[in-house]
Amino acid sequence: MVFNSYTFIAFLIIMLILHNLPFSWKVKKINLLLASYVFYAAWNPPFILLLWLSTVVDYFVGRALYTQENKHKRKLLLVLSLIGNLGMLCFFKYGTFLLDNFTHLVNLFGMDFHPAKPNIILPAGISFYTFTTLCYTIDMYKRKSEPVKSLLDFSLFVTFFPHLVAGPIVRPPQLVPQFETERKASRQQLMQGLLLVSLGLFMKVVLADSMLAPTANDIFWPGGAPLKTLDAWTGVLAFSGQIFCDFAGYSTCAIGVALCLGFVLPHNFLYPYAAIGFSDFWRRWHITLSAWLRDYLYIPLGGNRNGKIRTYMNLMITMLLGGLWHGANWTFVVWGALHGAYLWGEKIIQDLRKKPVMASMHGVPSAEVGVLGTIPKEFKAKTFRNFIYAMITFFFINVTWVFFRSPDFHSAWSLLTSMFSSVPKAEAYLTTLSIIKVMVIIVFIVAFHWLMRNTKVLTVAEKMPWWLLGIAWSVLLILLIWSQESSSSFIYFQF
């Protein structure tokens, strides 16, 4: 079930009615849990067994990790949890990828090995709910918080349908306490939630699917082809806007749906195309994943504590694995490597200037900040110099999207060649109207990000006159209804 479907609208209306009936809080939580299973089972019902298995195992392992005093048994329990969760993720998401690479490797050594192609279906959202349960067991091992009191609350924490399939990646302290006492949306929360759902669907349906995806699909295709430089850049910019509007649109919908039910989810995007530098980009793009990689990978590897060489190694390992998390293809690894190289370059410049760009972040020592951090006050100002820095950052980010979207290296290299040189016999694939449409939308997105980079949509909405907010909201809904031609899945469902 996808947010951008009439089925989900009916599903949400039913849930809002049930959630506001005079049932006990326990009954309401059971309703939410059953609804979440229905929401997930709409894709492929058998995969709900994996969700149940992950939930039950990690609930009891987490309690045992917290109460067990024997260090060796605690480590064994943690290893079992890691093997179970990561093993399941590796099999379903990377099984075919690992087998293909192993086959190529042994064939290089002269062995005639050609196994049957496995028919593995990727369960929706497995990367997201695996990371959600992993952070619980790791936190229990470190005793950062107390175990969840009931299996019902833990099951709802893992499977709560707004965040289940594509995030935000939530942690127990962010959501579990909200299940302990009855939650019901106030009138203001309901209106804010519906506004966010409308905005998220507008970003997905109107901007991503209707306006940008067709142009991106015309440029990104297997094998590649010689393109005019303008066409190549237009296609890349189209995908840059598409992936933001698609993923940020989902996160906005998820936060809005949760708010309609009285729950608060963490923000996942903060105008990333207004980022000043690459650390700032990862502070603004997929924030919950960036924080997860920082806290559960970068810092445990040693963070910034063991010298510059180890810092650079830890940073690159984190970004490489972050890239691989996005998909079972070496192009994603290169995408992560490019971001790691960008962060390297940024850190080298900081070290040469001996003036760190990032400050410490809410309880994280400054020595540990590297993947995600805050920016100094001078970079918060909307000055012309900072705008130039932001556009330089946006330029390099667009280069990385070539590898993220391209199906193979040949296609990526062909497109990069077209972007940065005049290719002989290159053909024009895009119409003038398509180019103008993409450029106008991208300018609008970048300008909006820059103007809003230090604020939030709901903050601005609260300050608007009611009539102006009503007009803007009506325009969103009219364009949304006008553009609703399909119910295509969100891009991050495949991750």
Q: pLDDT tens digit string along 74-112?
A: 999 999 899 988 888 888 888 887 787 778 787 877 777
Contact 156, 172 (CB under 8 A): no
Three-state SS letters, 58-102: HHHHHHHHHHCCCHHHHHHHHHHHHHHHHHHHHHHHHHHHHHHHH
User: SS3 of 359, please?
Assistant: strand
Output the pLDDT for position 232: 92
DSSP 382-415: --HHHHHHHHHHHHHHHHHHHHHH-SSHHHHHHH
- Non-local (6+) Cβ contacts of 196 within 8 A are 252, 253, 255, 256, 259, 457, 458
Residue that has been written with the tokens 């309901």 in this structure: 190
> What are the extents of the domains in the chain?
21-180, 279-374
Is residue 116 over pLDDT 80? Answer: no
Stated pTM of the model: 0.89
Three-state SS letters, 321-336: HHHHHCCCCHHHHHHH
Name which residue leads in pLDDT, 350 or 141.
141
Contact 147, 62 (CB under 8 A): yes
Output the pLDDT for position 365: 36
The DSSP output letter for 149 is: S
The percent of the chain in helix, strand and coil, each rounded to the nearest 5, is: 70, 0, 25
The H or E element containing residue 342 is helix 330-353
Listed range (63-67, 354-358, 440-444) with the worst mean pLDDT: 354-358
Sign of the torsion angle spanned by Cα atoms 357, 361, 365, 367: negative
- In this prediction, residues 215-244 reach a mean pLDDT of 88
Alpha-carbon gap, residue 70 to 404, rounded angstroms? 45
Tell me which long-range contacts 327-333 makes (C-beta under 8 A, separation of at least 24).
Answer: 327/494, 327/495, 328/93, 328/94, 328/96, 328/97, 329/97, 329/407, 330/409, 331/403, 331/404, 331/406, 331/407, 331/408, 331/409, 331/412, 332/403, 332/404
Closest CA to 196 of 481, 476, 491: 476
Is residue 276 over pLDDT 90? Answer: yes
Closest CA to 280 of 451, 404, 454, 443: 454
Is residue 380 over pLDDT 70? Answer: no
Strand pairing partners for 359?
Answer: 374
Listed range (139-143, 421-425, 481-485) with the worst mean pLDDT: 481-485
- The question of whether 163 is a catalytic residue gets the answer no
432-443 pLDDT per residue, tens:
999 999 999 999
Alpha-carbon gap, residue 16 to 20, rounded angstroms? 6
Please report which confidence band the pLDDT of residue 274 belongs to, taking 50, 70 and 90 as the band edges.
Answer: very high
- In this prediction, residues 333-360 reach a mean pLDDT of 79
Alpha-carbon gap, residue 359 to 366, rounded angstroms? 6
Percent of the chain at pLDDT exceeding 70: 91
On average, the pLDDT of the chain sits at 86
User: SS3 of 374, please?
Assistant: strand
459-495 pLDDT per residue, tens:
888 888 988 989 999 999 888 888 765 556 666 656 5
Contact 156, 36 (CB under 8 A): yes
Q: Which of 19, 163, 286, 326 is catalytic?
A: 326
The H or E element containing residue 154 is helix 151-159
Alpha-carbon gap, residue 369 to 211, rounded angstroms? 38
The H or E element containing residue 141 is helix 126-142
Alpha-carbon gap, residue 65 to 123, rounded angstroms? 28
Alpha-carbon gap, residue 227 to 423, rounded angstroms? 7
Output the pLDDT for position 322: 92
Please report which confidence band the pLDDT of residue 351 belongs to, taking 50, 70 and 90 as the band edges.
Answer: confident
Output the pLDDT for position 102: 78
Q: Around 63, how many Cα atoms within 13 Å sit in the side-chain half-sphere?
A: 10
Output the pLDDT for position 118: 75
Asked, as a colleague might, if the bond just before 168 is cis with ω within 30 of 0, I would say: yes
Q: What are phi and psi of 227, to 5 degrees?
A: -125, 155
Alpha-carbon gap, residue 408 to 78, rounded angstroms? 37
The DSSP output letter for 418 is: H
Q: Around 458, how many Cα atoms within 13 Å sit in the side-chain half-sphere?
A: 17
